[in-house]
Amino acid sequence: MLPTTTSAGAFPDTASLQGGFPSFAFTQNPYVAEPSSQNKLHGGSADPNSVELFLANIQMAQEDVLRVHELAKRALDDLQNAYSPGRTPTQADANMAALRQSLEHLAMLLRQSGVGGLPLLSSPNAPSEDSEALLNVTNRTLQEEYERQKRAQDGASIVANRLGHQTQR
Q: Does residue 156 form part of some domain?
A: no
Could you tell me if 50 and 107 lie in one domain?
yes
Could you tell me if 51 and 108 lie in one domain?
yes
**Whole-number Å distance between alpha carbons of 137 and 130:** 11
Could you tell me if 5 and 48 lie in one domain?
no
Quick: pLDDT tens for 54-110.
889 889 998 999 999 999 999 999 989 888 888 888 989 999 999 999 999 999 999
Could you tell me if 26 and 77 lie in one domain?
no
Max mean pLDDT range (18-32, 34-48, 56-70): 56-70
Percentage of residues of the chain with pLDDT beyond 70: 66
The pLDDT of residue 156: 93
User: For residue 20, with 0-12 CB atoms within 10 Å meaning exposed, 13-18 middle and 19 or more buried, which class applies?
Assistant: exposed
Q: Does residue 128 form part of some domain?
A: no
pTM: 0.46
**Whole-number Å distance between alpha carbons of 11 and 85:** 63
- Residue 96's domain spans which residues? 38-117
The pLDDT of residue 102: 95
Average pLDDT in the chain: 76
pLDDT at residue 42 tops 60: no
Q: Does residue 82 form part of some domain?
A: yes
Could you tell me if 56 and 76 lie in one domain?
yes
pLDDT at residue 23 tops 80: no
